[in-house]
Structures are given as C-alpha cells and as structure tokens.
Amino acid sequence: MPHAAMLEFVNRDSGRGINLLVDTLAGGLAGALADLLMHPVDTIKARLQVQQSSRVKRSGESRWSSRDELAHGRPYRGMLDCAVRIVREQGVRGGLYAGLSAVLLGSVPSHAITFASYKYLKSWTPGGGYGADGIPNWWSDVVSASAADLLALSTYVPAEVVAKRLQVAGMGPARDYSSPFHALRVIARTEGIRKGLYAGATATMFRDVPFTALQFAIFEQMKSLLGDFAQTSGGMLLCGLTAGAGAGAATTPLDVVKTRLQTQHIGADRAYRGVLHCLRTILAEEGPAALFKGVFPRIVWVAPASAVTLAAYEQLIRWIQPNRQTLTPASE
C-alpha cells in the first residue's frame, strides 16, 4: 500500500508538471492573440486617460503651455475622434499599433506565468478549487489568481511603461522614440530602473491583482452557471466577455492612476509623487469623474481581450491535451 500510494503521488505530480508546461504555452499564445487583436483600443484608452480635463490649472497656470497646446492640438472628443485623428496623423502601424512589440515582449511571458501559476496553485487548494457540490470556490480563484499575477508582475511592468510611452507619443512635449528598445534604453538611462522602467509598479499591482482575481473568479462562476453551454465556443466567449467587463469596470480608477504615473514625463515636471498623491490630485483638480475617464474604451478593450484570451487558452488546451478537461472539477 505505501508503494501504491507513493506511485499515485508520483503520477499525480508528474501530471501536474505536464499540465504546467501546457498551461505555460497556451497562456502565452492566448495572451499574444488577444494583444494583436485589441491593441488599437488600448492605445485609444491610453490617449484618453492621459489627456487632462479642461486644461487643468495649477498655481493659476495651465499645466499645458501654449507650445504644448499647439503640439497636442485640440482634446479628443471621444473614442471615434481619437481613432480617426491617430490614423490621420500617425497611421495605423505607427499610431494605433504603436508599442505593440513592447506589449508582446511583456505580455507573452506574463500571460504564460499567470495561467500556469493560477492553474498550478489552484490544483493544490482543497478540492482543487471546487466544493463538494462541484461549484467553484470563489476564494480559491481569488487567492490563486492574485498570487499568480504577483509572480508575473516583474515581467510586464517595464514592457507596459515602454508601450504606454510609445502609445502617447505626439501628445504635448512627449519624447519620441525610434523603437521599443530605444525607449527602453532612454528611459533606463535618463529616469532609472525604479523610477523609470518600474514607474507605476505599485499602481499596476493595485490594479492588476484585483482585476486578475475578479476576472478568474467571475469566469469560473459563469462557467458553472452556464453548464454545458460553457463548453461551447460561444459559451466560453460569453464567460470571458462577462468576466473582463466586470473586472475592467471595477478597476478603472486604478488604471487611470497607473497610466498617469507611467506617462507623466509628458508634463513639464513630475506632477505625481505616487499612487495616493496621484489619486488625491486627480480628485482635487478634476473631480471623481476623471477616475473613470476611459472606462468605456477600457471595457471595449478588456472585455473582448479577456474573452479571446480565456477562450483561446481553453481551446489550445483541448488541442494540445484532448483528454484533459479544463471545465470540470475532475480536471484539477
């Protein structure tokens, strides 16, 4: 019996190891696909969030100088106006898809780490993350997803800083970079690693950890709620869409703070000293509504991105491991 029990443990642990490799591959590919499809919307969102309300006054002067006003042009009136002007002024590749390569450099490993860590950590929770009735335990999803996102944080913050700088190039006195690697070198040399490449890391953590936790928790609950329909392509997309929309809307204020911190080199000086200072400054100077600036483009971006990522991940698992069922408690 001891030998049989040990053999069962080895087989189970070996299965976890194989699943870990497959989850890593599927997660990275799924994240890349979502970014390729949805990056233009993320660029529009970043532009709208960086654009400050009504030329915010500070010490009796506009934060944008007349020269900045000329370089920046009139404010964007919304998503469509922003998209049209970006394409007209900078083109599709150089405008809407600015920073894509930087995003992919961070997104592929971060999605690989997130999915692999989430599934692996969840498999060690009581019942593999499911109750006796087969219903997903929300706390298991929240804890596993939060820990997984923390593990991935170091890989995607520098990439996101570079991507955001490239996405808002041309706004005000923003520095122009010739490539993502040029941006990486310039930011590291002129602003440092911690204050430059990891700018907004705390805000990113406060945004992404709850976002990832909510996304996976809602996704698992939706799969349980929809039953057999969740195993279809349409059902999987619906689960991902709902999870992304809910998590995206709830974390928009932190996304605004993160974007402001990562792109504040645009101004004449650093306007924000940290997450709390940025939050207080936005509330005092622009009002609570400013914290939800870009909420619609964020949902338009993150909801389908989540749907594509999660559905693609599940489909890739089915192709790579046909006998592994990812939608049932037995799979864990």
Q: Is residue 11 included in any domain, yes or no?
A: no
Q: Is residue 203 included in any domain, yes or no?
A: yes
Q: Which residues contact 307 (CB under 8 A, 6 or more apart)?
A: 236, 237, 238, 239, 240, 241, 244
Packing angle between helix 252-263 and helix 275-286, nearest 10 degrees?
Answer: 100
pLDDT of residue 16: 72
pLDDT of residue 297: 84
- For 249-280, give one letter per residue: b (16+ CB within 10 A) or e: bebbbbbbbbbbbbbbbbbeeebbeebeebbe
Structure tokens at 142: 């929240």
Read off the DSSP letter of residue 168.
T
Q: Is residue 179 included in any domain, yes or no?
A: yes
pLDDT of residue 66: 30
Q: Is residue 21 included in any domain, yes or no?
A: no
Question: Mean pLDDT in runs of 10 for the chain (332 residues)?
Answer: 41 66 93 92 85 49 38 74 91 89 88 93 84 82 93 86 79 66 88 85 86 94 92 93 95 88 64 86 91 88 93 92 56 31
**Would you say the C-alpha torsion 263, 265, 266, 268 has a positive or negative sign?**
positive
Q: Could you tell me the CATH number of the domain that includes residue 231? A: 1.50.40.10
Domain span including residue 65: 28-331
Packing angle between helix 233-250 and helix 201-226, nearest 10 degrees?
Answer: 140
Q: Is residue 8 included in any domain, yes or no?
A: no
Tokens 């929809």 belong to: 226
Structure tokens at 320: 């790579």
Q: Is residue 2 included in any domain, yes or no?
A: no
Q: How many domains does the chain have?
A: 1
Q: Is residue 12 included in any domain, yes or no?
A: no
